[in-house]
Amino acid sequence: MSKNKPMTNYDEYRLNDDKHWEWHTTFIGRLMQHNYRVYHILDGVFKIAPNLGAIVEIGTGCGALTTYLGLWGLHLNIPVLTVDNVRSTDTDAFLQRLGVTVLDGDVFSTEVYRKIKEFVGQRPVFLLCDGGAKQREFDTWARLLVSGSFIAAHDLGHEFSVENISEWTRTLVTPVMEERWNEMNAQIAIFKVN
Ligand SMILES: C[S@@+](CC[C@H](N)C(=O)[O-])C[C@H]1O[C@@H](n2cnc3c(N)ncnc32)[C@H](O)[C@@H]1O
C-alpha cells in the first residue's frame, strides 16, 4: 500500500498484525461483519453488567454477532432480540433455535420501534447499534433506555463517532472501557446509561 494513500475501510478490515485483527472471517460458519476481538471486549461488558434483563441488536446482518449474543442470552438466562430489514430464512431458523427473537422491518418504523420498546420495557438492557444508521440509532435508543443499561455502537471511526452524538444524548451516557474500543481494530464504542 502506498504511504501517501489513505487506508480505506476495506484496507483496514484486511489488516492482520499485532495491532489489528482481520474482519470478515467466520463464527460457527457465519460470515463475521466484525472481528473476533469484539467478542472479548463485549465479554468484558457482560462481566460488569450482572443485572441485565435483555439484549437487543439492531442489524442482524449474517447473524454471527447475534449468535454470540444469543449464547450470552442463554448463559444469563435473559431474552435476546435482533432486528433487520433484510432477513434470511436459514439464518432466522438457526437464531430462533438459539432462542433469539427475530424482527423483520425498518428499525425506525413506528411498528418496529414500538415492538422494541415493548420488549425492552423498564429493565436494564444491553443494546447494540449496528444497523444502517448507527448514529441515529444511538441517539434514538440512548434516550429510552433505563439507567444501568449499556448501549454500544459498532464501526467506530467509520459509521459512528463520539463527536457526532447529539449534545443532549451525551449528557445521558458515560463511556465505559474506552481504552478497549479500538483494540485490535474492533471499532466498538460502549457507554453506560446514567
Ligand atoms: C453491518 S450489518 C450488521 C452486522 C451484524 N451486527 C454483525 O456484526 O454480524 C448492518 C445490517 O443493518 C441492516 N439495516 C440497515 N438499515 C436498517 C434499517 N433501517 N432497519 C433495520 N435494519 C437495517 C442491514 O440490512 C444489515 O444487515
Which residues pair with residue 193 across a beta bridge?
A: 173
How far does residue 62's CA lie from ligand 1's centre (Å)? 9
As for ligand 1, residues whose beta carbon falls within 6 Å of it are 33-34, 57, 59-62, 64-65, 83-86, 106-108, 130-132
Q: How confident is the model at residue 2 (pLDDT cuts 50, 70, 90)?
A: low
Cβ atoms 86, 94 nearer than 8 A: no
Q: Tell me the C-alpha to C-alpha distance, in Å, between residue 153 and each of 1, 54, 95, 131.
A: 29, 17, 21, 9
The three grid cell numbers given for residue 90, joined into one nine-digit string = 436459514
Q: Is this prediction's pTM over 0.85?
A: yes
Q: Does pLDDT of 132 surpass 70?
A: yes
Which residues pair with residue 188 across a beta bridge?
A: 154
**What's the chain's average pLDDT?**
95
The atom number, within ligand 1, closest to the CA of 38 reads 8
pLDDT in tens, 143-169: 999 999 999 999 999 999 999 999 999
Q: What is the spatial distance between Cα 112 and Cα 193, in angstroms, rounded to a whole number?
A: 22
Q: Which residue owns the Cα nearest ligand 1 atom 11?
A: 59
How far does residue 2's CA lie from ligand 1's centre (Å)? 32
Q: What is the spatial distance between Cα 178 and Cα 39, in angstroms, rounded to a whole number?
A: 16
How far does residue 3's CA lie from ligand 1's centre (Å)? 33
Phi, psi of 30 (to 5 degrees): -100, 135
